[in-house]
């Protein structure tokens, strides 16, 4: 594989990516409020990761979404689609104004990614656990066709309870798929899970260190990072791109609902409609004034 594109990010680039992540969060909040449907906690926890991938890490051409030599990206946790759409719109795949159609009946921006509707999507996703298998196939296909590209797959930590994830995890090292990078959005909360004594009555889907130990046991090179520290994200993804013959699993430690005070660390904001007064608070938390046009949901 060629050298990663993320080496040597300077302070100015870190600031730029951090601002894009803030914009992604703003667009997520506005779109879900307008639709009165969609997921919030997961897209907000993944915003910094998506900003880094789409604006610094991946080799892509928004003006040519089917470019054969592009890096591939699969949002296996497809319920977080609005975060992906916001990143794509900001990157230039489609007009930013189209985000207002999110989850409408005839929109290209469905509640889960639909590659038959929206150019630039590499997989229709939403059935949890399937994305890594497709990503493994794409990585293997790139090798067989001689294409110098990487495949990135974003998994949820709750999704890592799916058996299919570990079937693919067992197979990928056997093919030495060093062009496959899995990123686990480890926000430690899932919508349905085991009850606990915390403020929201849920315990994390894995005990501390469990994901690192499991991916290592299956033969992957495992890296950890702060999924909200842009400098750390760029550093670790740069390291992930330096091949040693093994696929890479990146455990990104994140906070569900990151950036919005009343959503952070609360599982019931996995998916929930936003009230007008909550919209104002959420946008204020993100440093954005409430637009006059956002007064009423769809």
Annotated domain spans of the chain: 11-294
Question: What are the tens digits of pLDDT across the range 215-241?
Answer: 999 999 999 999 999 999 999 999 999
Cα 196 from Cα 137, distance rounded (Å): 38
pLDDT average, residue stretch 111-119: 96
CATH T-level assignment (fold) for domain 11-294? Rossmann fold (3.40.50)
- Mean of per-residue pLDDT scores for the chain: 92
pLDDT digits (tens, 9 = 90+) for 60-106: 999 999 999 999 999 999 999 999 999 999 999 999 999 999 999 99
Where is 225: in which H helix or E strand?
strand 221-226
Report the length, in residues, of the chain: 298
Note the pLDDT of residue 3: 42
pLDDT of the residue at 34: 92
Q: Do 249 and 213 contact (CB within 8 A), yes or no?
A: no
Rounded to an integer, what distance in angstroms lies between the CA atom of residue 48 and that of residue 54? 10
At residue 197, the pLDDT reads: 72
138: part of which helix (H) or strand (E)? helix 131-144
Quick check: helix, strand or coil at residue 38?
coil
Distances (CA, A) of 260 to 132, 185, 263: 30, 17, 5
**Digit-coded pLDDT (tens) for 120-147:** 999 999 899 999 999 999 999 999 999 9
């Amino acid at each position: 594989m060629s050298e990663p594109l993320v080496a040597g990010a300077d302070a100015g680039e870190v600031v730029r990516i951090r601002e894009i992540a803030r914009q992604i969060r703003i667009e997520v909040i506005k779109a879900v409020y307008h639709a009165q449907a969609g997921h919030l906690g997961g897209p907000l926890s993944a915003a910094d990761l998506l900003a880094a991938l789409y604006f610094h890490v991946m080799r892509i051409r928004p003006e040519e979404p089917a470019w054969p030599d592009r890096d591939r990206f699969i949002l296996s946790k497809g319920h977080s689609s609005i975060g992906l759409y916001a990143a794509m719109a900001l990157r230039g795949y489609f007009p930013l104004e189209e985000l207002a159609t999110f989850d409408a009946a005839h929109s290209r921006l469905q509640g889960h990614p639909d590659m038959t509707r929206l150019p630039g999507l590499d997989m229709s996703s939403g059935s949890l656990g399937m994305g890594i298998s497709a990503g493994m196939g794409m990585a293997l296909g790139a090798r067989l066709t001689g294409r110098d590209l990487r495949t990135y797959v974003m998994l949820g930590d709750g999704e890592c309870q799916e058996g299919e994830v570990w079937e693919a995890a067992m197979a990928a090292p056997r093919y030495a798929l060093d062009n496959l990078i899995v990123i686990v959005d480890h926000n430690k909360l899932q919508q349905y899970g085991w009850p606990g004594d915390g403020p929201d009555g849920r315990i994390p889907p894995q005990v501390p260190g469990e994901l690192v130990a499991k991916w290592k046991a299956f033969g992957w090179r495992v890296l950890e990072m702060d999924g909200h520290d842009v400098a750390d994200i760029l550093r670790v993804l740069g390291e992930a791109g330096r091949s040693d013959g093994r696929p890479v699993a990146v455990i990104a430690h994140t906070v569900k609902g990151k950036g919005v005070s009343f959503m952070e660390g609360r599982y019931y904001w996995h998916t929930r409609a936003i009230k007008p007064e909550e919209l104002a608070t959420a946008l204020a938390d993100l440093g954005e004034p409430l637009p006059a046009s956002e007064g009423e949901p769809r």
